[in-house]
Each structure stands twice: as C-alpha cells, then as structure tokens.
Structure 1
Amino acid sequence: MADKSVINNFESRIRQLLDDHRRLSGLCVQLKERCESLRNENRSLQERVRELNAELSRMQLTEGLAGESRNRDKARARVNRLMREVDKCIALLGGAAEVAPSEGTER
C-alpha cells in the first residue's frame, strides 16, 4: 500500500512538473518575441533620434549663419570643421592619385 502511494505521489509531481514546463516554455516563447519586438522598436527610435539630431544641427547651422542667433559661433566652428574635413579629403584624393599608376605609363 505504501508503495502505491509513493508511486501516485511521483506521478502527481511529474504531471505538475510537465505542466509547469509547458507553461514556462510558452512563456519563454512569448518573452523572446516581446524582446525581439522591443529591440526592433529600440532600433527604430535610435534611428529617429539620429535623424532629429541631424535636423537640429542643420537648423542651428542655418540659424547661426543667418546671423540672428546666439548659435553664430557654433555655426562658424562647424563650418570651419567641415572645411577642414573637405581639405583632408581633397589631400587624400590628391595623394591617392599620385600613388595610383596612370594608364599612359604602362607598356
């Protein structure tokens, strides 16, 4: 008789564990889907923030260049920084042209 109750007790615990496993597996799937959804939303929001920051920067530059703002110094500094970047690019392009063999020199 005691053996039968022990077996019944094990069976009931096993059923409970299987039910818990099914429930938790389903919950895990739901949480993974939610996590992926939140990652996608986060990527979209980060992209939107970048776009808005770029727009704000352009607007501040425009406003500063118009001379009607306290952002004039920032605008001038940005234009100077952009000019230096353009100069570096031109220098790099000039250096690359010197390094690359020209078509007319090979025989």
Structure 2
Amino acid sequence: MAVKSIVTELGQRQARLIDDHRKLVALCGKLASERDALKEEKRLLEQKIRNLDHELSKMQLTAGLAGGSADKEKARARVNRLMREVDKCIALLNKPQ
C-alpha cells in the first residue's frame, strides 16, 4: 500500500509540474510580446525626441538670427560652426585627387 501511495503522489506532482510549466511558458510568451511592444514604443519616442530637438535647434537659430534674443550668441556660434563645415566641404571638393 505504501508503494501505491508514493506512485500516486509522484503522479500528482508530475501533473502539477507539467501544469506549472505550461502556465510559465504562456506567461513567458506574453511578457516577450509586451517587451517587444515596449521596445517599439521606446524607439518611437526616441525618434520623436530627436525630431523635437532638431526643431528646437532650428527655432533657436531663427530666434537668434532675428535679433534681440537671449539665444543670439548660440545662433552666432551655430552659424560659425556651420560655416566651418561648409569650408571643410569646399576644401575637400577642391582638393586634387
């Protein structure tokens, strides 16, 4: 009789483990899809931040060039930086190959 109860108990434990495994596999799949959705949302938000930073930079440049703005020095520095980049590009174009 003791052997029969041990076998029955092992069978119950096995069934419980299989059930727990199925639940964990389902939960893992759900969490993986949620993770993927959050990664995509993060990517979109980062892209939006980059676009807004670019737009802000253009607006600051415009405001600085318009005069009378606190961003005038920033605008002047940015224009100078852009001019240096243009000069470098021209120099590379004029460089003999």
TM-score, normalisation: structure 1:
0.88
Distance apart, 1:35 and its partner CA = 0.4
Give the deviation of 1:90 after TM superposition: 1.4
| Aligned equivalent of 2:77 | 77
Runs of 4+ in 1 over 6 A off after TM superposition: none
User: Following superposition of structure 1 onto structure 2, how do residues 9-28 of structure 1 map, counting pairs within 5 Å?
Assistant: 9-28=9-28
* Distance apart, 1:86 and its partner CA: 0.9
Do residues 38 (structure 1) and 38 (structure 2) align?
Answer: yes
Report the Cα offset of residue 67 of structure 1: 0.4
Task: Please list the CA deviations of residues 41-75 of structure 1 after superposition, one character each: whole Å capped at 9, or x if unmatched.
Answer: 00000000000000000000000000021000000
Unaligned stretches of 5+ in structure 1?
100-107
| Identity among equivalent pairs (%) | 54
Which SS does the other structure have where 1:70 is aligned? coil
**Which SS does the other structure have where 1:68 is aligned?**
coil
SS in 1 for 2:70: coil
| Whole-Å separation in 1 of the counterparts to 2:59 and 2:24 | 51
**Runs of 5+ consecutive residues of structure 2 not aligned to the other structure:** none
RMSD: 0.7
Partner residue in 2 for 1:6: 6
Query: Amino acid of the residue matched to residue 52 of structure 1?
Result: L
Which amino acid in 1 is paired with 2:8? N
How many residues align? The count is 97
The one-letter code sitting in structure 1 at the alignment partner of 2:56 is L
How far is 1:93 from its partner?
Answer: 2.0
TM-score by length of 2: 0.97
